[in-house]
Structure 1
Amino acid sequence: MTTQTIQYEYAPGHFKASEPSVYQPEMLDEGEMILNMGPQHPSTHGVLRFEVVTNGEIIVDVVPHLGYLHRCFEKHAQSLPFNQTIPFVDRLDYLAAMNSEHAFVMGVEKMLGIQNDIPKRTEYIRVLVAELNRIAAHFVGIGTYALDIGAYTPFLWLMRDREHIQRLLEWVSGARMLYNYIWVGGLFYDLPVGFEERCREFISYLKPKLVELKQLVIENEIFVKRTANVGVLPLSVAIDYGCTGPMLRGSGLRYDLRRVDGYSVYPELDFAIPIGEGKMGTVGDCWDRNNVRVLECHESIRIVEQCLDQLLGDHKRTREYDPQAVVPKKIRPKAMDFYARAESSKGELGFFFRTDGKSDVPVRCKARSCCFHNLSVISEISKGAMLADLVAIIGSIDVVMGEVDR
């Protein structure tokens, strides 16, 4: 009887079997060595490890080892009716749950052919909460990125302001982060009385804070030196790897599904699509990606203000309005293959459904994760960089592992 020995590495909260390395010693050239790096980012502890091949201080290759989170979203979605899957959608990118819900629900509605029956007030509320959540998600990405490269104060300030958004969304849905608020055909409930006025007060408070953020972080001389000309992602490489969101726009392409697909009420709203322009270094570097996220926060504020104007004006609260009026009693689409997508805070979040026409449970549900595609380019943008810059490159991707290991 033979005995197999398995090495175990400690990860917070549990032990996991050590995954074999891609590189073996005999594969290395003279002077090269293998380093295991991570976790370096608050989102990666225990669920992401980087196998780094270095030659002195220069990076030769980076291999990300994914998994260990075991979200199993797709298996859950293939075991439950569409409407009962929404709480699991929240747990993909748990920092932008409203955006994920919006994408999934719109996909199911288009598959059922009821997308044109959704009341306008419902659509404006959906966009309002999604854009508030986009700001909150970007605040986490920018704040933890500053923390990664040694700046502690911006992280605390951004978490403070994010907390205001979390409280607003908790007031709306009853949950702090995982909302289950956007339903197929409508909403869990209308906005609370007084929400629109409170949200306006918050927007007035937030605008000068974004000016402070730019001065404190984005234009900070130390931050610029750590991020400009580092981790440059050429546009052609970004397209080849399927990068989307701020990763793609940071490389200079003005591509945003809110404009390209024109879903929900976005075609009726006025907002710009920021892109990287290489103001501090090279187009597509770490600085550009973070600057795009900050500029997107400004544009999300513009969208929120326009939604509030509509919700307090033409589409104000009435006794006749029922946020669940179009919610189907039974979701049973025809037999088909269907793909729907939307712009999450990290990029294109898509859902593929395969249905048999007999059940309200999909035969196949596949999530197209923007975080997975964005993370896959790490090797390309790290080769030739200094080892000390790898932390800055990883953080600039703004990855959430709940969406990667699905």
Structure 2
Amino acid sequence: MAVNDTLAGTHKIIEEAREQQHNQLVPTVNDFNQELTTLNLGPTHPATHGIFQNILQMDGERIVSGVPTIGYIHRAFEKIAERRPLYQITPLTDRMNYCSSPINNMGWHMTVEKLLGITVPKRAQYMRVIMMELARIVDHLICNSILGVDTGAFTGFLYVFQEREKVYEIYEEVCGARLTTNMGRIGGMERDFTPVALEKLRKWVKEFPAVMREFQSMFDRNRIFMDRTQYVGGITAEKALNYGFTGPNLRAAGVDYDVRVMNPYSSYEDFEFDIPVGTNGDTYDRYLVRNEEIWQSLRIIEQALENLPEGPYHADAPHYYLPPKQAVYKNMEALIYHFKIIMGEIEAPVGEVYHSVEGGNGELGFYLISDGGRTPYRLHFRRPCFIYYQAYSEMVVGQSLSDAIVTLSSMNVIAGELDA
């Protein structure tokens, strides 16, 4: 009976909230005696870049207010993870920001390694850096090229998506997958770079700059593109910090916060690179910051390839790192570890850790609580998209409908990360 009473109370609260939201969105009359229009932007609109909804109040072409709605792609990853061993959670992470999934994978592995006290060999750390920076480049290419499409320019999109395909071929050579990569393992990488992978990497690093320069030549000083993006969807540094912005969207507002520098991981302290920042926090600044970050990521990859250390590509962590298949066939100890890992029979130590990495869209964090069982007691993903999407409605007030589209595009809201 108590449960039914609780449910009834919950339903009443939900109905009151819905009624309040409806009252906010019904057509009203402004000071000029003009009726406002309610426009449903999403969740299946081709310009929303994912299945999320914005219910806008429009005064002609101008946006008066908006109410964002999410939940259309909710997959309950955090709860699913509470029923999975630590090493079986990796495939959940790369379905969040699927535009740069290796960063998600390796951020999760580093979180578990912090809990377990595992030190990853230098070679594996450099290999991770290479793959994470490749993923960052791909993420930014997708964002900026589709921003071009949303302003009416399709050619640049075709140019850089050829380069994206080449990066995916490198992913395939490294781990066998393309979009959702499940790359690496707790303790390091699943396998060493093959000669083919290194050859493709070096070839791409050499050829990509010419394509990137051509892409920028189409947009950087393009008058139509600048008119569509400058002073559109801007946000101040103070408001961006108050909303919890991180990543390119925060740096475009003038704040030089980057997890790779503030809290270095995976040997990022070994590399020289700059943190680009903007001034206006508008759509054009977000575009420029991402472009410059692509160049800085390329710079990091070149350094990592040139100074790639010798040695093992994974730590000595037999309880969490699968032994080679040939050893499983011949060695009893390897067979036992293989069985226990596959069947999820290895318990994690008691502990509470948080680890963050600089994802494609900002600080991607994992808050893990272990009670000593085989699965997490609690796991929370800090998804940057979920944090900064809350500011979207305020950023587009007073803008036109076409401005709302390019603002959303430049923020690079990924639905999978928004609603994990």
Distance 1:26 1:142, change over 3 A: closer
Asked if the contact 1:98–1:129 (Cα under 8 Å) also holds between the matched residues in 2, the reply is yes
**C-alpha root-mean-square deviation of aligned residues, in Å?**
1.8
- The residue identity in structure 2 corresponding to 1:354 is I
Q: Partners of 2:313 and 2:358 in 1: how far apart?
A: 27
Give the match for residue 379 of structure 2.
365
Q: Note if 1:22 corresponds to 2:21.
A: yes
Q: Which has the larger radius of gyration?
A: 2
Report the AA paired with residue 50 of structure 1: N
Q: Cα–Cα, structure 1 residues 20 and 400, in superposed 2: closer, same or farther, change >3 Å?
A: farther
* CA distance in structure 1 between the aligned counterparts of 2:396 and 2:48, rounded to whole angstroms: 20
Identical counterparts, % of pairs? 34
Which residue number in structure 2 is paired with residue 43 of structure 1?
A: 49
SS at match of 1:62: strand
Q: Distance in 2 between matches of 1:26 and 1:338?
A: 46
Report the CA distance between 1:26 and its aligned residue.
5.3
Q: Which runs of 5+ in 2 are unaligned?
A: 1-17, 321-340
1:292 and 1:122, CA in 2 relative to 1: closer, same or farther beyond 3 A? same
Per-residue deviation, residues 64-88 of structure 1 (Å, max 9, x unmatched): 1112113221122111011000011
1:140 to 116, 139, 142: 142
Q: Deviations over 1:22-47 (max 9, x none)?
A: 24355734322211013243731xx2
* Closer, same or farther: CA 327–342 of 1 in aligned 2, 3 Å: farther
Could you say what secondary structure the match of 1:183 adopts?
Answer: coil
Three-state SS of the structure 1 residue aligned to 2:195 is: coil
In structure 2, the partner of 1:352 is: 367
**Equivalent residue letter for 2:314:** P
Q: CA deviation at 1:251?
A: 0.2
Is 1:394 matched with 2:408? yes
Tell me, yes or no, if structure 1 residue 296 matches structure 2 residue 302: no
Q: 2:368–2:378: 8 Å Cα contact kept in structure 1? A: yes
- Please identify which structure carries the higher helix content: 2
**Equivalenced residues, count:** 372
2: CA distance between counterparts of 1:151 and 1:211?
Answer: 16
**C-alpha contact 1:181 1:188 (8 A) present in aligned 2:** yes
Structure 2: how far apart are the matches of 1:151 and 1:21?
A: 41
Q: TM-score, normalised by structure 1?
A: 0.88
Amino acid aligned to 1:382: V
Q: 1:20 & 1:102 partners in 2: Cα distance?
A: 44
Task: Find out whether 1:173 has 2:175 as its counterpart.
Answer: yes
Contact 2:386 2:418 in 1 (8 A): yes
- 1:72/1:218 Cα in 2 relative to 1: closer, same or farther (>3 Å)? farther
Query: Is the Cα–Cα contact under 8 Å of residues 231 and 285 in structure 1 kept in the other structure?
Result: yes
Cα gap change, 1:42 to 1:174, in 2 (>3 Å): farther
Q: Does 1:241 align with 2:254?
A: no
1:284 has 2:281 as partner: yes
Cα shift at 1:105: 0.9
Instruction: Return the offset for 1:156.
Output: 1.0
Unaligned segments of structure 1, at least 5 residues:
1-18, 278-282
SS at match of 2:89: helix
Are 1:328 and 2:319 counterparts?
A: yes
1:20 positional shift? 8.1
Does residue 212 (structure 1) correspond to residue 226 (structure 2)? The answer is no
- Whether 1:91 aligns to 2:95 is yes
Instruction: Name 1:280's counterpart in structure 2.
Output: none
Q: Which amino acid aligns with 1:305?
A: E
Q: With structure 2 as the length reference, what TM-score do the two structures score?
A: 0.85
Cα shift at 1:137:
1.1
Q: Is the CA contact (8 Å cut-off) linking 1:185 and 1:328 kept in structure 2? A: no
